[in-house]
Structure formats: structure tokens, C-alpha cells
Amino acid sequence: MAIADELQTTIEHMVQAGKGILAADESQPTIAKRFAPIGVESTEENRLAYRALLFTAPGIEDYISGVILFEETLGQNGDDGTPLPEVLARRGIVPGIKVDKGKGPLALSPGDLITYGLDGLAERLRQYKGQGARFAKWREVYSISERNPTPLGISANAEMLARYAAVCQEQGIVPIVEPEVLIDGDHSLARCAEVTEAVQKEIFHALHRHHVALEHMILKPNMVLPGKDHPVRASAEEIAAATLRVFRRTVPVAVPSINFLSGGLSPEEATANLNAMNAGFPHAPWLLSFSYGRALQQTVLQAWQGKAENAIAAQRALLKRARLNGAAQRGEYRAAMEASD
């Protein structure tokens, strides 16, 4: 199969009405933080048990089209010896892989960050593809302050995302491009909109320079939100209007899907905001969907508590949040649904 055909097939499987992406790609330090509140040690055995629980939850294939895996998970097997990527693929869920290597300071640009991992990426992607991965994810982050992100920070991060996406497509892997303007701080909704617009414009200029086919990528951005320390909260409708205003100005219609990250939002907030976008703006040129980590898993962890006897309850918690977000993708979510089993 030609590479363009491979990419198109993957996109068609991932971009489906009523479905989104589960981000289960937490690094070992991050998943240790997720486990700590429930008193579970982050051992390989516990990580495998938890993620296998997620991937085998009955019915999630009705609402989840893809799962982002951590490198460790890509090489693990379920109880019956089946590789976890194959467990997903057999259910019609596309396996993907986080490929960046974390972030650090951008040299000579105080307050800006840059993500590592381009060295050897093509070789790693060939290995991951052989293990069943059909898409990849790379995250760049932008902190908001009076001076950040700087023009240099915005351009450098855009260049990294574009170079990563080009390498992915060359290898027949669909890239998820994730630029996250962080919720940390006391900035206003308007300031977040200003930064997000500048970030998105620069990213799509860079993608064009690197000949990335927009039809064969997925954008995973932040919603436009006031900082978590800002004194004025915004309604779901205000967030939806501000977010869509920015993306109409910056994201070409060739991009098939915008799968929002949840950042620091609660599960209920993330679902309500996505619903407001789809209910209030039903004719957006892209599929507006979700690629949530914590907002899908928070209630799962609370139900699981690291105990095998809680596995069914934890899977039901995942199915519920997946179902509610599937409804939000269609603009059909209502707050009253939170009370249902």
C-alpha cells in the first residue's frame, strides 16, 4: 500500500463522528503522580494491570477510535499473551505512540520551553510501526506571562512540530500535532486567545514549509481558557465562542479533525466545553472531538484503587466518560447525564 493510502486509511479509522482519542501515554513520573493519590505504587506490573483494564473495557470502541500509548505499553502483552496494540486493533481502535522525549528550557529565551526527541525519530517510528502503532503524538508547551511566549519561542516550537510531523508522514504514520498553551497563571480569556492564535498561525506556516499533508494529520490543541488563577471564570459557551473564533482564523479546512486536550479541566468541564462547541457551532469545517487523558481517567482511577476486584467498576467509569464525551462530540450532552450509570 502506498504511504498516502496508509495515512488516509488511518485517518478514516480515527476521525469518526461520536468518537475521540484516549490519551494513555503518561510517562513514568506522570503516572506515578496519578497513582499516588490512590496509594498505588508505580511498578511495571501495576501500570500494565491498569492500562490493560482501560483497553479491555467493554463497549469503549463505540466512543474511542484511537489510544495514545507510552513506549513501555507498546511492548507489553495482556494476560493471554496478546500484545496490547493488537488488543486495541482487534476492537477497531487504532494504536498510537507518544514519541517526544520531554521538554526543557529554550536556550537564550528565558521562560520559553522546547521539546526533545527528533534525533533518531525515523528509526524509532519504523520500530513502533512494526509493533502496531499507526499514529504518533508530539507535544509542545507554551507558558503565558507578560513576556512569554516570545516570538522566538513560538517559532522554535512550531519548527519542531513541523519537523516531527514531516518525519511521521514520510514513515506512513499519522502525526498528532499538540501545541498546548498552558492553563497555569492568572491570564484572561482574551490573553489566551491572543497567544493561541499566534501559536496556531506559526504552526501552520511551518507545516506548509515542511510539506506536511494537512489531510493526513490531527491537531490536538488547548481550548481557549482563562488562567486557572484568573478571578473571572468563563462559561462553556464563552469558551466555545472564543476557541472557535481563533481556530476559524488559523486552522485550514483541510485538517480533518481537531481533538482538544483537557489540560487542567475537570472531567465535567472538559465535556461541557466540547459540547458547547458542537451544539453552538454545528457547521464547523472540522470534526471537533476530544483527546483526553485525565478527563477520561480521573474517575477510573478513583474506582479502581489498584484492586483487581474493582476492575469492572473502573471499566464502567471509563465507558461512562467516553459515552458522555461521544455525546458532546455530537452536541448532545446534557449535565443531567452525569447522574446516569
What is the domain-level CATH number for residue 288? 3.20.20.70
Q: Is 113 exposed, middle or buried (0-12, 13-18, 19+ CB in 10 A)?
A: buried
pLDDT for the residue 170: 98
pLDDT for the residue 340: 80
Mean per-residue pLDDT, 211-216:
98
**Is residue 130 classed as helix, strand or coil in its secondary structure?**
helix
For residue 337, being part of any structural domain is answered with no
The tens digit of pLDDT for each residue in 125-160 reads 999 999 999 999 999 999 999 999 999 999 999 999
Alpha helices of the chain — where are they, by DSSP H?
3-14, 28-35, 44-55, 71-74, 84-90, 121-130, 151-170, 189-209, 236-250, 267-280, 294-304, 311-329
Kindly give, in sequence order, each residue whose CB lies less than 8 Å from that of residue 204, ignoring residues fewer than 6 positions away.
214, 250, 251, 252
**Is residue 107 classed as helix, strand or coil in its secondary structure?**
coil
pLDDT for the residue 68: 98
For residue 335, being part of any structural domain is answered with no
- Does the global pTM surpass 0.95? yes
Question: Confidence band (pLDDT; 50, 70, 90) for 171?
Answer: very high
| Backbone dihedral region for residue 311 (phi beyond 0: left; psi -120 to 50: alpha; all else: beta) | alpha
The tens digit of pLDDT for each residue in 245-255 reads 999 999 999 99
For residue 308, being part of any structural domain is answered with yes
Point out the residues that are catalytic: 220
In this structure, the chain runs to a length of 341
The answer to whether the CB of 169 falls within 8 A of the CB of 5 is no
For residue 340, being part of any structural domain is answered with no
Taking all residues of the chain, what is their mean pLDDT, rounded to a whole number? Answer: 97
Measuring CA to CA, which residue among 33, 78, 21 is closest to residue 51? 78
DSSP label of 255: -
Kindly give, in sequence order, each residue whose CB lies less than 8 Å from that of residue 253, ignoring residues fewer than 6 positions away.
285, 286
Domains: count for the chain: 1
Kindly give, in sequence order, each residue whose CB lies less than 8 Å from that of residue 10, ignoring residues fewer than 6 positions away.
94, 134, 135, 174, 216
DSSP label of 286: S
Orientation angle between helical segments 44-55 and 294-304, nearest 10 degrees: 110
pLDDT for the residue 311: 97
For residue 341, being part of any structural domain is answered with no
Q: Residue 120: which domain range? A: 3-329
For residue 226, being part of any structural domain is answered with yes
The tens digit of pLDDT for each residue in 66-91 reads 999 999 999 999 989 999 999 999 99
The tens digit of pLDDT for each residue in 90-101 reads 999 999 999 999
For residue 309, being part of any structural domain is answered with yes
For residue 338, being part of any structural domain is answered with no
